[in-house]
Structures are given as C-alpha cells and as structure tokens.
Chains A and B, each alone.
Chain A
Amino acid sequence: MVSKTVAYTGNEAIAHGMKQINPDVIAAYPITPQTEIVQIYSTFVADGLVDTEFVTVESEHSAMSAVIGAAAGGARAMTATSSQGLAYMHEVVYIAASMRLPIVMAVANRALSGPINIHCDHSDTMGARDSGWIQLYSENAQEAYDNLIQAVRIAEHPDVQLPVMVCLDGFIISHALETVTLNDDAFVKEFVGIYKPKHHLLDPENPVTMGPLDLFDFYFEHKRDQAEAMRKAKDVIIAVGQEYGAKTGRGYGLFETYQLDDAETAIVVMSSTAGTAKAVIDELRAQGQKVGLLKLRSFRPFPYAELAEALKHLKAVAVLDRADSFNAFGAPLFVQTRAALYDLPQRPTMINYIYGLGGRDCDMSQIARVYADLAEIVKSNQTGEIVRYLGVRE
C-alpha cells in the first residue's frame, strides 16, 4: 500500500480519516477543542471531495439525535464533540447504543465545567463510560487516525453493532503538530467497505418500528443483549487491530505494553501521558530500574482478564486517572484495574494517582515521582495513601 507521511494535528488527522471513510451523513456542532474537525470537514464538503450530507445542527443534543436518525435510516453516520458537548448529548448517547447503531464519534477530551475550562482531562468521556459505547483512547495523532478507521469496522461488525468513541486528548493531541502516516484513500475505502444494515427506516417494503416503549417484560433482555455485544466486541477489536496491522504495519490490541515483561513496577495509563511515561521509562531503565508501562486502548470493553495476566508479575502498580470520581475510593481506571486483579493469587500493591485535571501539565518529573513512589513502596513494604493526587497544590 502507498502511504505518505505528513505533519498533522490530531484534529487534522481525524478530519482526514473521516474524509477517507466518506460517511453518508455527519451531523456536528462546534466546541473547543473539537471545532477544527468540523471546520476542516466543511471545506471537504464545500469542495465536493466527499459524498457526505453534512448537517450543521444547532446543538450537540441535535447532533447526536440527527446521527441516530441517519444511522437508523441506513446511513454510515459520524460526529465529533468534546466536554460540554458530550454532556449536552448525554441522554441521546445512551439511546444510540441501545438502538445498536454503529455510529463513530471522535471526542477531543476536555475537562467538564465547572469551573469552565477548555483543556484536557477525561472527565467528559468517563461520564459516558456506562452509556453502552465502545471507548478507544489514543496516545497520539497517529493512533487517533488509526483508531477512527478501525472504529468503523468494529462498530458495524454483526457481533457488535455498537457505537464507538475515539478519544484523543484535547489540545495535547488535537492541536499539536505531529508526523502522521496516512493510508491511501483506496485502502481505507476497501478496509471500511460498504455499510449494509440489516434493518433500516428507508426500506419501505420492510418497515420497522424503532425506539418503542419497552417495559419490564422485555427491557431487561435487551440490556442483557447489549452487555453481550460489548463482551463480543473484545475479540472484534483484536481481530480488526491485527488485520489493520498486517496491512499497514501498525497493529493494535486492547492495550500496549512497554518494558513490562521484566518490570517490577509499572504505570497503567491512557492516552497522551503514555508517551511521557515511555520517555521516563527510557531514562530510568538506563539507570538500571526495572520499570514498565501498560497503556490501555480499550476502556470499554474493559479487558479485565488480559490486564490481570499482563500485570500479575509486578510488585507495585500505579494507575493514573485523568478524571476524578470524588471520594469513590479511586477514579474509574483504578477501581476497575484493581477489581480485575482481585482474583490473582498474588497481587501487586496498587495505588491511584489523579492527575492532569483541567489540562494541568503532566511532565516527566511527575511521572518520575510516581516511579520513585512505587520503588519506595516496594522497598518499605508500606503502601501508604492508596488514592493520591499528582501535580496539584495542596
């Protein structure tokens, strides 16, 4: 395959990926830091480069409602948002998943108000973690682009039929210029294929009622089906990631490990901070410290068994959350990772760091401090505070 390397921001990479996917309908509303995606895509529409019907809605609630209508009408439909936009569409986000509509949505992660803040954290998508959407998190612009293309295949797989959020850190990834290797248009077109839904509203010979009132006699079964689809999504994410890797040289799994096999301590984290952690690991490894990383890509479905297997040999693990779950004894990634390891005969000591809220920079010194804390825990055999805050003035 012919590919080319360009300098793109995360938003440009997403917009370019969307252009190559060429969805039938996009409905979107501008919000910092996602706005560029909408703007760039508008130029594609204005220049006749895509077949997309671009619906410039008056709110995110209507953006999600319109892509639900479009997907129910048999169209491949996409949108993008951030922060308050995701919060504003919250009720319909659940409906998209429960209608089993394979919508793909890019989310440039941004802190939720209040106070109002436009910079990165994961409180927006963490608030939608139980909405029934698959959630893939991206370390950099390349991963955001690759995840977007794979998301179409994952969402539309007959065993899955669930919407997917492709998450990229607001500003840190959405606005930073990076080198990105792009697939050629023909490859993407063939990789995503043609969407052929089993049932849709624009097939008059086979009418369908969607979104009926579903009471105590059937609702529970439909929810159980949704849980099963999410369970099956795990194998589909792996298969699509392998196929993508075989064809592009960039393979993907449920998570990525870095220097983890012989590590004694490790950090578990998602998105751009994983890149910072890798740089710190290189420095500490040069000093002879056995430190590693597990970067989670698929937060939903949550690969609990695979995580337990990958982390079981460690002495101490720090889970870094870019969102808080106020006094819930740890933030979401920590709570779930800790639960996943509960059944191991020998568990690593686990601590949680809540970091980077509202775009607070998480630099190498902060990550180095986490590894130093882990080393101290191993040495002293004292866990200390289990839930900690990193980089905040106390």
Chain B
Amino acid sequence: MATLKELAQRPDRFTGGHRACAGCAAPIAVRQVMAALDPEIPVVTANATGCLEVTTTIYPFTAWKGSYIHCAFGNAAATLSGVESAYQSLKRQGKIPDRPIKFVAFGGDGGTYDIGFQSLSGAMERGHDLVYICYDNGAYANTGIQRSSATPRGASTTTSPAGKVIAGKPQPRKDLTAIMAAHNIPYVAQASVSHYMDLFRKVEKAFAVEGPAFINIMAPCRLTWGTPPEETVDIAREAVESCFWPLYEVVDGVWKLTYKPRQKTSFIDWMKRQARFRHLFKPEPKTEILEELQAEVDKRWEQLLARVETEK
C-alpha cells in the first residue's frame, strides 16, 4: 500500500486550470481517487453531466489527461459499462493489446441517487469491472442548488426553500450506500475528502477487486451548504465526526467501520455552521426539529453500529 508521500508524488491525471469554484470538493475527490491508482495503469473515466463535467471539459480544453467520456446526465454507469464491454471483447479477440486498463465513473448525487439510479443499478447487477464514484454534495448544484434525494432533511434549497410553513426539505435522505451494498457487489464504501488516507485505501481496494465497486464520497459544495471555501475539508470532517456520514466499507457483504470518532460531535453544531440550515436557528432555534434531526442521525448511527457488531 502506497504511503502518503508516494501518493503525493504521483503524476496528476487531472490537471489544474479547470473552472470549478474555489473550495469545491469535487476536484479534491477526483485528485484523491486518481492518485490512489497505480500510475502505470491507464484509466478511462466516464462522467455524468454536472459541475465536474462542465467545469473540466470546456471545449477545446480538458483537465483529463487520460481518456474521458461524458454522454448524458443519467447514464454514466451504462456508458462506462459499454466501454468496459468493448475492452473485454476487443482484448479477448486480440484486437487491442492484452494489458490492464481501469474504468472509473464520476457522478454527483443528482446523477447517481436520482436520474442515474437505474443505470447505476443495472451496471452493478451486470457485474462490469468498473468503479463508480459518487461525489455527494447533497443537491443539484450545477443547476443552482435544487433538492435531490441526497439532500438532508431540513436543508433549504431552491426547490425545498425554507418558507413560512415548510422548514426546508421535509424528507430524510436516501441511504444510497446501503442500497448499493444490497446489490451484493464485491466492494462498497463510504468515504470523505477529509479522511484522505481512508479514502485512498478504499479506492485501492475498489480497483483491486474484480467486478463492480461503488464508493460514496462526502464532497461539500460551499455554495449549496453556505460555508466559507476554506472550510470545505473541515466541514466534511465534521460530517464524519458527528456520525452524519460514517466511514465504512462492505467487502463481499461484510460490513465494517473503517473509522470510529473518538468523541461523537453534535450534529446540531454541524448544521449551525451552514447557511442552508440557518432557518432552523434564526430568528429563534426550532428546537423540536433540531432534536428530531439529531435523533435521526443518532438512530442511523446506532443501526450501523449494530450491523457492524453482528457481523464481527
């Protein structure tokens, strides 16, 4: 396993000069994922429509040093499954050299949890040898911050605005990582840009398995969340420390925590730092809702602990 120093010295597969916002976690996630891959092995990237795609491939420029394809919003997994099938077919027939090539798809939560959900589920079920990475910032950021099924309950977005009678998004978020684990694929994990060594190790494992792998990465959007750009990584860390975003992996169906916070921090304090939850604190704290949201996080954390415990 590569050390941090070795990882840092690997040549960039994804260059600077792209047009993502300052403090955007998506390019951080991409750099971490790409660095975890053996530099000798080529990778083909597929990308769902979204911030990452529009900021990194403005024709005639590209930030991607290896081969890259963007097709549409809801089909990154299906598109990449086609590329991977071409690789298997052409290699088997001797039409291309027999050497390893890796396949990775990047999609935001909108392109993964929602519009690309069926395409992702199909590709995973078919067993293609590819890694799907979701960079989860909890909204359709590219179109101007609309709610997705990854948006946490209570968050104000442009389609779940905090109003006089509704306090932000009424529904809790979908647990996509668990749904992907239910596909019984070789590797599923949840990671965060803040815990980069944990993320590196997960990406290494994901690429090492034969067959499909899925990693859901906590990747804050400072415009969506309403946080200063320099706090992106810190607010991601607090998502983990508060147990809102636990770090775990599911290897061949066995669930395992990869990081347990020493002292579980307050989810309410985490929300307090973000403008999207401001209406829950001002003009006066909506204590009942806040306590419900804290209880929801606690419940899901306890359920995860119980699951991990029984599978020890």
**Pairwise interchain contact B86-A77, C-beta atoms closer than 8 A:** yes
The residue from A24, A52, A66 contacting B79, defined by CB atoms under 8 A apart = A66
User: Is A1 an interface residue when CB atoms closer than 8 A count as contact?
Assistant: no
CB contacts under 8 Å to A, within B69-107, are 69-72, 74-75, 78-90, 92-93, 95-96, 101
Given known A55-B82, A62-B119, contact A73–B90 (CB-CB < 8 A):
yes
Contacts of A207 in B (CB 8 A): 64-68
Q: How far is the CB of A152 from chain B (nearest CB, A)?
A: 16
Contacts of B101 in A (CB 8 A): 202, 204
User: Is B161 an interface residue when CB atoms closer than 8 A count as contact?
Assistant: no
Q: How far is the CB of A59 from chain B (nearest CB, A)?
A: 6
- As a 0/1 sequence over residues 199 to 223 of chain A, the CB contacts with chain B under 8 angstroms (1 = contact) are 0011110011111111100100000
Given known A55-B82, A55-B126, A212-B58, contact A69–B69 (CB-CB < 8 A):
yes
User: Is A65 an interface residue when CB atoms closer than 8 A count as contact?
Assistant: yes
Contacts of B53 in A (CB 8 A): 213
**Pairwise interchain contact B64-A209, C-beta atoms closer than 8 A:** yes
**Pairwise interchain contact B75-A62, C-beta atoms closer than 8 A:** yes
User: Is B57 an interface residue when CB atoms closer than 8 A count as contact?
Assistant: yes
Contacts of A202 in B (CB 8 A): 44, 67, 83, 86-87, 90, 96, 101
Contacts of B90 in A (CB 8 A): 24, 73-75, 202
How large, as a class, is the contact surface on chain A?
Answer: 35 or more
User: Is B54 an interface residue when CB atoms closer than 8 A count as contact?
Assistant: yes
CB contacts under 8 Å to B, within A56-75, are 56-59, 61-62, 65-75
**Pairwise interchain contact A69-B59, C-beta atoms closer than 8 A:** no
Given known A25-B85, A92-B71, contact A61–B57 (CB-CB < 8 A):
no
User: Is B60 an interface residue when CB atoms closer than 8 A count as contact?
Assistant: yes
CA distance A201 to B69 in the complex (A): 8
Contacts of B58 in A (CB 8 A): 212-213, 215
Contacts of B86 in A (CB 8 A): 24-25, 53, 69-75, 77, 201-202
CA distance A56 to B121 in the complex (A): 13
The residue from A55, A75, A95 contacting B81, defined by CB atoms under 8 A apart = A55
User: Is A51 an interface residue when CB atoms closer than 8 A count as contact?
Assistant: yes
**Pairwise interchain contact A92-B82, C-beta atoms closer than 8 A:** no
User: Is B46 an interface residue when CB atoms closer than 8 A count as contact?
Assistant: yes
Given contacts A73-B83, A75-B86, 6 further A-B pairs with CB under 8 A are A55-B82, A95-B72, A202-B44, A202-B87, A204-B66, A212-B58
Ordered by A's residue number, 26 sampled pairs between the chains whose C-beta atoms are within 8 Å are: A27-B85, A51-B92, A52-B89, A53-B88, A53-B92, A55-B82, A55-B85, A57-B78, A62-B118, A62-B119, A62-B123, A65-B72, A69-B69, A69-B78, A69-B82, A69-B85, A70-B85, A71-B82, A204-B101, A207-B67, A209-B64, A210-B70, A212-B62, A213-B57, A213-B58, A214-B59
CB-based closest 8 A-B pairs: A69-B82, A73-B86, A58-B122, A66-B82, A204-B42, A62-B78, A75-B86, A65-B78
